[in-house]
């Protein structure tokens, strides 16, 4: 049983944490969290991979990982994804392993779209690294920008109640049956209303990026969650 604090405004906070936690599970299932101290190649081996990643030096400059960390990450990524890319079905399979008693399909879809920044239907090693760099090493504002992008399903620059409800339902489907106490069926909608009462400052029915970041920065639970995984890699 997974015990979570679901009272008051907890669900949207959990939503922020799940973004990072689910990404860490992806690392674990790719065999990337338990790093060994074995020596790694001076350069990435890409001869057998159909998708050739950008030069290591460029990724090092663009991300917040060191060269050695990128080498290790790539080795694990290549072992699990020989083609060099991850499609949405693979994402769904990964999260179904993590949440076998729930339905993670919809949440995996939303998370995949957040990693697939160029919207070409696949997540490359570069996409993976840039998202992970923000989630694990980014500033609070960078992490919140990434979270806002996840919630902004149609990418129009606003979070609507319908979009937030879709995300909350996806989290509920993925985790709700494994929580104690068990969530009521109308819990996602109730938490969306609470979310908007708190974040929709001008009461125009949508939440902007500025409203989202300002409200999150004032929430101690969300701020603590931003620090939880900084030293994982």
Q: What residues have CB less than 8 Å from 206, skipping those under 6 apart?
A: 158, 159, 160, 200
| Paired tokens of 123 | 């997540």
Q: What is the DSSP letter of 178?
A: G
Of the given ranges (22-31, 38-47, 111-120, 139-148), which has the lowest mean pLDDT?
Answer: 38-47
Contact of 134 with 143, CB cutoff 8 Å: yes
What is the value of pTM for the model shown?
0.75
Going by the DSSP 8-state scheme, the letter that residue 189 receives in this structure is H
Confidence of residue 156 (pLDDT cuts 50, 70, 90): very high
pLDDT in tens, 53-86: 557 788 899 999 998 888 888 887 777 777 878 8
Residue written as tokens 């840039």? Answer: 130
Pick the more confident residue, 125 or 176: 125
């Amino acid at each position: 049983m997974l015990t979570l604090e679901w009272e008051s405004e907890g669900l949207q906070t959990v939503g922020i944490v799940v973004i990072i936690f689910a990404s860490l599970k992806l690392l674990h299932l790719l065999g990337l969290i338990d790093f060994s101290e074995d020596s790694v190649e001076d350069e990435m081996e890409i001869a057998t991979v159909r998708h050739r990643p950008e030069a290591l030096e460029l990724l090092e400059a663009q991300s917040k990982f060191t060269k050695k960390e990128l080498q290790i990450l790539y080795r694990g990524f290549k072992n699990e994804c020989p083609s060099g890319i991850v499609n949405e079905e693979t994402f769904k399979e990964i999260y179904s392993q993590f949440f076998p008693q729930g339905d993670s399909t919809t949440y995996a879809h939303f998370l995949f779209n957040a990693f697939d920044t160029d919207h070409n239907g696949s997540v490359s090693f570069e996409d993976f690294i840039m998202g992970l760099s923000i989630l694990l090493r980014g500033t609070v504002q960078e992490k919140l920008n990434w979270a806002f992008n996840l919630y902004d399903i149609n990418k129009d620059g606003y979070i609507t109640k319908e979009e937030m409800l879709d995300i909350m339902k996806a989290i509920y489907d993925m985790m709700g049956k494994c929580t104690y106490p068990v969530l009521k069926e109308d819990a996602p909608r109730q938490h969306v209303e609470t979310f908007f009462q708190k974040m929709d400052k001008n009461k125009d029915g949508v939440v902007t990026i500025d409203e989202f970041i300002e409200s999150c920065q004032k929430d101690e639970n969300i701020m603590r969650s931003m620090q939880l995984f900084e030293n994982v890699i």
